[in-house]
Amino acid sequence: MIISFIYGLTLGFALSVDAFMLSLVYGSTFKQKTETIITGLLVGSFHFSFLLLGYYLAAIIFKQNFLENKIQGIAFIILLGLGLMMVFKNEQSSSYGTRNLITKCLFAFSVSVDSFLAGIALTAIDQIIIYLVAIVIAIISFLITLISLSIGKKTAEKLLNANLEYYAGIIIIILAIISLFI
């Protein structure tokens, strides 16, 4: 149990680095506190789900080398789509609705897909309690995302007090391109 908790803590922080960085930018576009909470919950839920999915499907369907080559492309497409949606977002869709929820799910998906590979890797550890690891990772990713989104929102309010949707979209597109080379 202690080993599982330690794995959960270390993987939770490691897997949340991208969520933290992108949340700083993404949070600058939020208008309501509920957006921050919903996005944090989505990121935590996606990390939890992808970790378990990777863990349970590892031996059945995928080989790590096959999947690892595809993850960069998937992350690129999702981040690019998210960035383009933010760049070309019209002012009418700024209220909270279905489109915003889809955008938040895309964001959560893009920062959580690495948990799938972590789940695959955890199958090699015999004495792991996967649900404990998944819960710890989900809580850490939720908290880190929540903090980062709040920092991004407050920074945007204090420094510019402007709609940063366009600039945040450009930065996310650049990060999508960079993700192809990492």
How many Å apart are CA 180 and CA 170, to the nearest integer? 16
Question: How much is the pLDDT for 132?
Answer: 94
Q: How many residues does the chain have?
A: 182
∠ Cα 164 177 98 (to 5°): 50
Report pLDDT digits (tens) over 147-181: 988 888 777 666 655 555 666 667 667 766 776 77
Listed residue (60, 178, 72) closest to 119, CA to CA? 60
Number of domains within the chain: 1
Q: Which residue is it, tokens 């992108």?
A: 22
64, 129 in Cβ contact below 8 A? no
User: Two tokens at 3?
Assistant: 């080993």
Q: 62 or 45: whose pLDDT is higher?
A: 45
Question: How much is the pLDDT for 139?
Answer: 95
Domain that holds residue 64: 2-179
Burial of 97 (0-12, 13-18, 19+ CB in 10 A): exposed
Q: What CA–CA distances, in Å, run from 51 to 22, 24, 33, 40, 116?
A: 20, 24, 27, 17, 5
DSSP state of 94: G
Q: What is the mean pLDDT of residues 127-147?
A: 92
Question: How much is the pLDDT for 87?
Answer: 65
Three-class DSSP category at 66? helix
DSSP state of 32: S
Question: How much is the pLDDT for 36?
Answer: 87
